[in-house]
Amino acid sequence: MLRYALRRIPTAVLTCVVASIGIFWLVQLLPGSPVAMVLGEQATPESVAALEAEAGLDRPFVVQYFDWIGGLLTGDLGVSYVSRLPIADLVGPAVGATLELALASLLVTVVVGLALGITGAVARRRPATVAYRLISAIGFGVPEYVVGVLLVFVFAVTLRTLPAGGRVPLLEDPGTGVQHLVLPAIALSVHSAIVVGRFLETALNQQMDEEYLDTARAKGASRRRVLWRHALPNALPSVVTVIGLRIGHLLGGVVVIETIFAWPGLGTVLVNAVSSRDYLLVQDLVLISVAVFIVVQVGSDLLHAALDPRVRLEA
């Protein structure tokens, strides 16, 4: 296991380095100047040059990159070009909100995905199978932002049972916090839950056709016991990797969902940073998202390897 981990970690670090270079380069290509945005249209060339020098934007590309990375490695996220506030103060409160939404969405994804996958594998009656396929097809084809708008229309506007947006921290008021969390968590997780369910269904059907399960059936094991006792444990390791990949999808979708539900998380901060051309804040947020995704992928791969020794032997 240690040998497998030592092979995966250097690749992850190299990916982060390459991603940081790409992010920094692409942000530099964005049109407009953050300094001009701060000073306004009446800014003189002298004032723009002075503020660029203060922010370090007049230095060579390579110097700016290493200053940025060096600051991140030491915990210094820098100062916002627009608000002139430490970026850590802007990002800190939003981290908790996004983490809360992401964990709730991941929980819904896992629970609903496992339920759908097992239902699809055991459903033998045609009406149940048709209903399952129809629900999966609709949920898979509808974009997250459409799901979010529909949920708001049905539960907030029509039924008036849940709030349309905003956030109340769970630690401050668990009851009200859950009410605000339900709709965005469902909207963010619908697509991922269906993907996990379909993958689990396929994995279970493949396991059910294996010869070792024929032996279990020959010994008198029921279909339910074969599924839960033998097929499901052997299908779960590969599903863990799929769930890890879907976390990346959740991180990408959180920007849209937070905007729809006025959720004060990192996605909202990122949208505001892009619109105001706060390039340093954009760089920090995108690189943090990439790093979190890579860490999650490595963690899911290690968990997969722990559950399935064949992965370690093939590495």
| CATH architecture group of domain 96-264 | Orthogonal Bundle (1.10)
232 torsion bin: left (phi>0), alpha (psi -120 to 50), beta (else): alpha
d(CA 34, CA 270): 15
Dihedral, CA of residue 240, residue 241, residue 242 and residue 247, to nearest 10: 90
- Distance, in Å, from the CA atom of 265 to the CA atom of 166, rounded to the nearest integer, reads 10
Specify the pLDDT at position 34: 66
- Measured from the Cβ of residue 43, the count of other Cβ atoms closer than 10 Å reads 16
Task: Tell me what the mean pLDDT of segment 91-116 comes to.
Answer: 89
Residue type, 281: L
Amino acid 108: pLDDT? 92
Q: Which two tokens stand for residue 223?
A: 């279909």
The region of weakest confidence among 8-12, 57-61, 265-269, 295-299 is 57-61
More confident residue, 104 or 304: 104
Q: pLDDT class for 60, splitting at 50, 70, 90?
A: confident
Give the per-residue pLDDT at 280: 85
Q: Higher model confidence: residue 5 or residue 188?
A: 188
- What local confidence, expressed as pLDDT, does residue 305 receive? 73
Pairwise CA distance, residues 273 & 55, whole Å: 16
pLDDT, average across residues 194-217: 81
pLDDT at residue number 313: 57
Would you place residue 9 in the very low, low, confident or very high pLDDT band (cuts 50, 70, 90)?
confident
Higher pLDDT, 154 or 44: 154
Cβ-contact 23, 69 below 8 angstroms: no
In single-letter form, the type of residue at position 24 comes to: F
Q: Among the listed ranges 57-61, 90-94, 164-168, 231-235, which one has the minimum average pLDDT value? A: 57-61
Q: What is the pLDDT of residues 157-195, one digit of tens each?
A: 998 899 988 898 888 888 899 999 999 999 999 888 888
Query: What does the alpha-carbon distance between residue 22 and residue 181 come to, in Å, rounded to a whole number?
Result: 34
Nearest CA-CA partner of 286 in 272, 266, 260, 262: 266
Predicted pLDDT at 36: 64
The whole-number average pLDDT for the span 42-51 is 70
pLDDT of residue 186: 92
CB 121 within 8 A of CB 223: no
Token duo for residue 18: 């390459």
pTM of the model: 0.81
In 10 A of CB 236, how many CB atoms?
A: 17
Per-residue model confidence (pLDDT) at position 314: 57
Q: Which of 14-23, 134-143, 154-163, 279-288 is the least confident region?
A: 134-143
Question: How would residue 104 be classed by pLDDT, with cut points 50, 70 and 90?
Answer: very high
pLDDT confidence bin for 207, thresholds 50/70/90: confident
- The domain ranges of the chain are 2-73, 96-264
Name residue, tokens 């030592």: 6
Segment (H or E) for 138: helix 126-141
Specify the amino acid at residue 252.
G
SS3 content of the chain, % helix, strand, coil (to 5): 80, 0, 20
Instruction: Give percent above pLDDT 70 in the chain.
Output: 87
Interior angle at CA 103, CA 102 and CA 104, nearest 5: 90
Half-sphere exposure of 229 (CA within 13 A, CB side): 10
What six digits make up the tokens of 241?
């990797």
pLDDT of 33: 64
pLDDT of residue 18: 92
Torsion, Cα 143 144 148 153, to 10 degrees, reads: 10
d(CA 20, CA 312): 29
Contact, 146 vs 129, CB < 8 A?
no
Yes or no: say if 291 and 16 are a contact pair by the CB < 8 Å rule: yes
What is the three-class DSSP state of 57?
coil
| CB hemisphere CA count around 221 (13 angstroms) | 18
